[in-house]
Chain A
Amino acid sequence: MNAFSYRAPETLEEALTLLHEHGEDAKILAGGTALIIMMKQRLVLPDVLISLDRVRGLDFVAQEDGVLRLGGLLTHRAAELASPVRTRVPVLADTYHHVATIRIRNMATVAGSLAHADPNQDPPATLLALDAQVRLTSMQGQRDVALADFFTDYYETIMQPDELLTEVRVPLPQPHTGSAYCKFLPRSADDYATVGVAATVRVNPATGACEDCRIAMGSVGVTPLRAPAAENLLRGQQRTDALLQEAAAAAQQVTDPISDTRGSADYKRAMAGVFVRRALAQAWQQALASV
């Protein structure tokens, strides 16, 4: 690894000051499970490394006004085990549980994985399907941004060099909502998915028809992708196999995967269809079971 200046601020304010001072020359180190690899490979060469290891108070889990708030420095493992996450948004606990290995989950943070913006990760898809927001904080103040507007390209986001992702905000699902995250892992259990699909479906308790839904896919584009046309097909409709097929085909239209060791582009697109169907079927079933 190349040399850098290591800074370990004690407070968020100090961290933001350092970030303001060093901007693009600095990188934030949270869990480090992605950044350290990129630094070893010399893909990222920061002059200043700002470690958040000593910053306290950013690993909270709270519920407030219908929003589940996750502090940016909460680890995947802590998020997976936190009782409000398990009871109120179980699909999110399940998604964090299926990230990589226990060693990675013990270190990787909820903010770090989003700021890293690798489209092959699991949590972004689920958080997109949950309509989550991220809170970006700088010395100038803070802004909340929909995750749907956050990712711009491979490893790229709308974050400014002086901003820190301090909180993930997840609206608590409305009654009669089901959700699922389905991850296709043809190689090993700790691998990135060939495709990962998250879906939420809210049903009309009287009719069982879909009132609202969201579909998000990972590993099949330069960012995690929503499938709005597929979602529109489902709203107001009763569940049938033909409808799920149609929605899966519409979702496939927005994918633009690359061929790699996890499958050819064609194969990934085909599997995206299969997994959209499965995730929708599971989410819809769960919603109906809640009626």
Chain B
Amino acid sequence: MTQTIRMRVNGQEHMLEVPQQRLLLDCLRYDLGLTGAKEGCSIGVCGACSVLMDGKVVSSCLVLAAVADNKDIVTIEGLAQNGQLHPLQQAFIDHGGFQCGICTPGMIMAAKALLDDNPDPSEDEIKDWMLGNLCRCTGYYKIIESIQAAAGQMQGKETA
């Protein structure tokens, strides 16, 4: 059985006819061609599939596309504006948070949700929020530094 869903993805309206068991992650990747969100563990543990749904970071591998009906989805592809990288994206490049790249879209989406919620997080708050996003390169310190730098820049502070 199929289901008609309407989603706003990265600001653009989509109407899709999908099988009822379609996951949001598969819908983004295969129906919309947005391959930034990755399938890692498939059980909501690794964070590679993190996207924002109505502003909240979720594991898109655990969300049915049908549940995303009428919701607002933001993926990594939606962050850059007019060819200008989002401060988090730029900070991940500048501070070595972007390593092999597999975890990066999920890391950045989780970090975006954090900074939307708490624009000036402490290091402990960053660690607590990000603990569900795994990096197999184990470059966690660089990722924390990248988030701190982006937070500073977004608040107009001097960055290291």
Contact residues of A with B, CB < 8 Å?
1-6, 8, 29, 32-33, 36-37, 39-40, 49, 51, 53, 77, 100-104, 106-107, 188-190
Query: Which of these, B1, B23, B67, B110, contacts A102 with CB under 8 Å?
Result: B110
Known: A51-B67, A53-B67. A103 touches B43 (CB 8 A): no
Asked if B44 and A103 sit within 8 Å, CB to CB, the answer is yes
Question: Inside 8 A of A100's CB, which chain B residues have their CB?
Answer: 44, 132
**B28 interface residue per 8 A CB criterion:** no
Asked if B132 and A190 sit within 8 Å, CB to CB, the answer is yes
Question: Inside 8 A of B141's CB, which chain A residues have their CB?
Answer: none
CA of A29 to CA of B56 in the docked complex: distance in angstroms? 19
CA of A103 to CA of B109 in the docked complex: distance in angstroms? 11
Known: A32-B67, A53-B67, A103-B50. A5 touches B43 (CB 8 A): no
User: What is the number of residues of chain B that contact chain A, defined by CB distance less than 8 Å?
Assistant: 28
Asked if A107 and B63 sit within 8 Å, CB to CB, the answer is yes
**B113 interface residue per 8 A CB criterion:** yes
Question: Inside 8 A of B23's CB, which chain A residues have their CB?
Answer: 1, 36
Asked if A3 and B67 sit within 8 Å, CB to CB, the answer is no
CA of A69 to CA of B20 in the docked complex: distance in angstroms? 34
Question: Inside 8 A of B43's CB, which chain A residues have their CB?
Answer: 37, 40
CA of A3 to CA of B133 in the docked complex: distance in angstroms? 30
Contact residues of B with A, CB < 8 Å?
1, 3, 19-21, 23, 42-45, 47, 50, 56-59, 62-64, 66-67, 69, 110, 113, 129, 131-133
Asked if A102 and B64 sit within 8 Å, CB to CB, the answer is no
CA of A32 to CA of B68 in the docked complex: distance in angstroms? 12
Asked if B47 and A103 sit within 8 Å, CB to CB, the answer is yes
CA of A122 to CA of B47 in the docked complex: distance in angstroms? 21
Given contact pairs A37-B44, A51-B67, A107-B59, a sample of 7 additional A-B residue pairs in the complex whose CB atoms are under 8 Å apart:
A2-B21, A6-B1, A29-B67, A101-B44, A101-B132, A102-B113, A103-B110
By beta carbon, the residue of chain B nearest A77 is: B56
- 21 A-B residue pairings within 8 Å (CB atoms): A1-B21, A2-B21, A3-B20, A4-B20, A32-B64, A32-B67, A33-B44, A33-B59, A36-B23, A37-B43, A37-B62, A39-B21, A77-B56, A101-B47, A103-B58, A104-B44, A104-B132, A106-B57, A107-B58, A107-B59, A190-B132
Query: Which of these, B42, B64, B110, B113, contacts A6 with CB under 8 Å?
Result: B64
Question: Inside 8 A of B110's CB, which chain A residues have their CB?
Answer: 102-103
Known: A3-B1, A102-B113. A36 touches B20 (CB 8 A): no
Asked if B62 and A101 sit within 8 Å, CB to CB, the answer is no
Question: Inside 8 A of B20's CB, which chain A residues have their CB?
Answer: 3-6, 49
By beta carbon, the residue of chain A nearest B70 is: A54
Closest 4 interchain pairs by CB? A101-B132, A6-B20, A1-B21, A106-B56
Known: A100-B132, A102-B110. A5 touches B64 (CB 8 A): no
Q: Shortest CB–CB separation between residue B67 and chain A, in angstroms?
A: 5
By beta carbon, the residue of chain B nearest A41 is: B43
CA of A101 to CA of B42 in the docked complex: distance in angstroms? 15
Query: Which of B58, B63, B67, B113 has the most CB atoms of chain A within a 10 A radius of its CB?
Result: B67
Asked if A106 and B58 sit within 8 Å, CB to CB, the answer is yes
By beta carbon, the residue of chain B nearest A189 is: B131
Known: A4-B20, A103-B50. A36 touches B62 (CB 8 A): yes
Known: A102-B110, A103-B47. A4 touches B21 (CB 8 A): yes
Q: Shortest CB–CB separation between residue A140 and chain B, in angstroms?
A: 28
CA of A239 to CA of B122 in the docked complex: distance in angstroms? 37
By beta carbon, the residue of chain A nearest B55 is: A106
CA of A81 to CA of B21 in the docked complex: distance in angstroms? 32
CA of A32 to CA of B66 in the docked complex: distance in angstroms? 12
CA of A290 to CA of B44 in the docked complex: distance in angstroms? 40
